[in-house]
Amino acid sequence: MIKTFQTGRKAVKAAACGLCLLMLPALGWAVDTPNNPRGTVIADGTVKWEWDWVPGADRYDVIINGEYVATSRDPNYTSQNLSSGDYELMVKAIDSNWNYSAPSGGYRLNVSGSSNGSPAATVNTSNNSNNSNGGTPPGFAAPNDPRGTQVGLGAVKWEWAQVSGASRYEVTVDGALADTVDGLSYTSQNLWAGEHSMMVRAIDGNNNFSGRSATAKLNVPSWYDPSNPSRSHTVGSPEPTQVVAGNNSNNNSNNTNTGTTVSPPPVQAVNDNGLIDPRTWTKQGLLGGEWQLTFSDEFEGNSLNPNRWHGQLRWDGEWNGERYEYRVINAESQIYSNPISPDGEHLNLLPPQHNPFQFDGSRLAIRAVRNPLRENDLGIDHGPLRDVARQQHFISGAISTFDKFHQKYGRFEASIKIPSHVGTFPAFWLYHQKRRWEGTQRTEIDIMENLGHAPHFIYNSFHYHTDVSASYSGNANFLKPSPSGQIFTGTDYSQNFHTYAVEWSPGYVAWFIDDTKVSELWNDNVNYEELYLIINLAMGGNWANFPTNSGGLGRPPGERYPAYYDLDSHANPALEIDYVRVYRR
């Protein structure tokens, strides 16, 4: 499917989290903020939450303990099967044009597991920040010195300084409420490889809350050396050992992960700062004979290798002479979060909400989540970061090699597991390195595309344009390979990893799934230019909403994805990548 710049208005709501709500700047809101949030325990583990009706509101987003839980048409919502503990309600109103209100203040309720629970003191958290206590007693300070130390494989001990008058502390990890503890530490377990963050706020004996602390961040690798823990979280240090089995106790103490250690694959005489991952030479399935390896990544580290990849598409974060520009293509519903962006505003805004790149030591997962920054439906197709970020429904990820690696002809392959989730649009494709003013046909080879509601179908295609100039985007040509470009073998491709590849030579492109040729194309326009690699997880867009005979959902026009029920059932899907390898003959 061709990637074109288009405008698309999509009427949908978005999630919110407590952490993200605090990061929104002051705005003029089109809908009044809900007042008087409250809750009543009506049965064992059951709470009826209520708030005052808002004039002009069509529905309400319900946020409990910082996480979106539901959308209600009425000014009430019932939680069931709650365990004992404290629960905090916040609400956002939404009008019929999908404009959002500011979040309500917070109402906190203690649930004892029986019907005789009584509400605790309320606290307005919508204005909390590192320096604002929003509804707490004067002088009740936010915790200082938040920090993290790796104490095991995937385990981090978070700590902070004591606050005078505090009886306990609420800990937020990676933007979600983790736990409430009595002491000055909390240990996270089973974290993926990559950057993690923690904030904490103090609670006194009257259930008053301080502001949140500053954010502690720690890069967690995919390995751990118990004999020298300090090496385990040193960014850029060699990976001497890796724990492959151990004993993790899940409690808030200084756990140490003990187990069998093994050495990583030996590093070959290739600089890891180069375009070939040294570990590739040790892998099975590496092609030889007529093929010469020119690019690879096995994704066995704990972050993207910036020598090989950008964490965005070329037209996202592109400098236009005055500012970094962001675009929406194909009326898609995501904005891409890039933790290695050169744009400082981007680094401060999006990765703290969600880092889509998650490493487990053997593969990369690109995960999409609901966008807690969404507050309007401007419908713009390009503009400043904050305008685009506040209209998109999801945050997702993309990797690409523009200006780093590009090649004409060869074999391009990746081992990928696609998500099976309505609305996902994963793709592995090649795109033209030259810009329009440099002489290009805007060539594109789609190696693998899929729509998540139909995981049995894989799509192949070829695109090029004629008469392209600096001022004209050209005349589009879309070619389906033989026999159809729509591949159906009866396999559900979301259940396992599969290898998707093209072999490209003068006048000819052949597409492969698991080394079986599934389609081919003869056309001299494939000869025009060098292409670079892209793998991304888009959400929604025009194609997902096409009729079923084009692969889309086939819904009525008024139920364009993502409708509110799509958001209610959104489950953070991920596109997983085992490796990427490129060869030339």
pLDDT class of 175 with cuts at 50, 70, 90:
low
Q: Is the pLDDT of residue 516 over 60?
A: yes
At 309 the pLDDT is 96
> Number of helices (H) and strands (E), helices first, in the chain?
5, 37
pLDDT class of 26 with cuts at 50, 70, 90:
very low
Of 135, 83, 136, 137, the residue nearest 110 (C-alpha)? 83
Asked which of 19-28, 271-280, 344-353 is least confident by mean pLDDT, the reply is 19-28
CA pair distance 402, 444, nearest whole angstrom: 13
CA pair distance 336, 388, nearest whole angstrom: 10
At 138 the pLDDT is 46
Q: Is the pLDDT of residue 132 over 60?
A: no
**Residue of higher predicted confidence among 288 and 119:** 288
Asked which of 37-51, 176-190, 228-242, 275-289 is least confident by mean pLDDT, the reply is 228-242
Q: Which tokens go with 456?
A: 């049995």
Of 522, 502, 516, the residue nearest 582 (C-alpha)? 502
**Residue of higher predicted confidence among 71 and 390:** 390
The position carrying tokens 């992960």 is 257
State whether residue 457 is helix, strand or coil: strand
Contact yes or no for 212/21 (Cβ under 8 A)? no
**Per-position b or e across 394-410, b if 16+ CB within 10 A of its CB:** bbbbbbbbbebbbbebb
At 174 the pLDDT is 73
At 133 the pLDDT is 31
**Residue of higher predicted confidence among 148 and 174:** 148
At 113 the pLDDT is 55
The position carrying tokens 């996270």 is 188
Highest mean pLDDT among 68-72, 245-249, 454-458: 454-458
At 29 the pLDDT is 56
Q: Is the dihedral of CA 278, 150, 259, 574 positive or negative?
A: negative
CA pair distance 382, 87, nearest whole angstrom: 39
Number of Cβ atoms within 10 Å of the Cβ of 439:
12
pLDDT tens profile 466-509: 999 999 999 999 999 999 999 999 999 999 999 999 999 999 99
Domains in the chain, please, with CATH?
Answer: 1-130 (2.60.40.10), 139-213+224-263 (2.60.40.10), 278-308+398-584 (2.60.120.200), 318-396 (no CATH)
At 124 the pLDDT is 34
Q: Is the pLDDT of residue 357 over 90?
A: yes
User: Strands 334-336, 394-396: parallel, antiparallel or unpaired by DSSP?
Assistant: parallel
Q: In terms of residues, how long is the chain? A: 585
pLDDT class of 331 with cuts at 50, 70, 90:
very high
At 268 the pLDDT is 35
CA pair distance 518, 539, nearest whole angstrom: 26
CA pair distance 323, 68, nearest whole angstrom: 33
**Residue of higher predicted confidence among 1 and 101:** 101
CA pair distance 367, 28, nearest whole angstrom: 32
pLDDT class of 6 with cuts at 50, 70, 90:
very low
pLDDT class of 90 with cuts at 50, 70, 90:
confident
Number of Cβ atoms within 10 Å of the Cβ of 558:
7
Q: Which tokens go with 577?
A: 């990548």
Using a pLDDT cut of 70, give the percent of the chain over it.
80
Using a pLDDT cut of 90, give the percent of the chain over it.
49
**Residue of higher predicted confidence among 114 and 463:** 463
The set of residues, in sequence order, having a beta carbon less than 8 Å from that of 161 and lying 6+ positions away, is 143, 144, 145, 184
At 224 the pLDDT is 58
Euclidean distance between the first and the last CA atom of the chain, given in angstroms as a whole number: 28
DSSP secondary structure of 51-96: ----TT--EEEEEETTEEEEEESSSEEEE-SPPSEEEEEEEEEE-T
Q: What is the mean pLDDT of residues 372-384?
A: 90
Q: What is the mean pLDDT of residues 378-388?
A: 91
Q: Is the pLDDT of residue 169 over 70?
A: yes
CA pair distance 256, 242, nearest whole angstrom: 14
pLDDT tens profile 545-575: 887 877 888 888 778 899 888 998 899 999 9
At 145 the pLDDT is 93
Asked which of 7-11, 283-287, 389-393 is least confident by mean pLDDT, the reply is 7-11
pTM of the model: 0.60
At 272 the pLDDT is 62
pLDDT class of 315 with cuts at 50, 70, 90:
very high
Q: Is the pLDDT of residue 13 over 90?
A: no
